[in-house]
Amino acid sequence: RRAENNRKRAIQQAIEESAADAWKQPDPRRAPAA
């Protein structure tokens, strides 16, 4: 169960990073949540 949760979190993080890359944000860490 824990491993599954970790994998879900990792996948979501990868998706967020991919989205930030697509947006070409100067600072993905500062990207707006909305």
Question: Cα(17)–Cα(11) distance, rounded to whole angstroms?
Answer: 10
Main-chain dihedrals φ then ψ at residue 32, nearest 5 degrees: -65, 140
What pLDDT does 18 receive? 81
What pLDDT does 8 receive? 94
Q: What pLDDT, in 10s, does the model give residues 1-34?
A: 789 999 999 999 998 888 777 666 566 566 666 5
What pLDDT does 12 receive? 93
Residue pair 28/21 in contact (Cβ under 8 Å)? The answer is: yes
Question: How many domains are contained in the chain?
Answer: 1
Question: Could you list the residue range(s) of the whole structural domain that residue 2 is in?
Answer: 1-34
What pLDDT does 33 receive? 61
DSSP string, 1-34: -HHHHHHHHHHHHHHHHHHHHHHT-S-GGG----
What pLDDT does 21 receive? 72
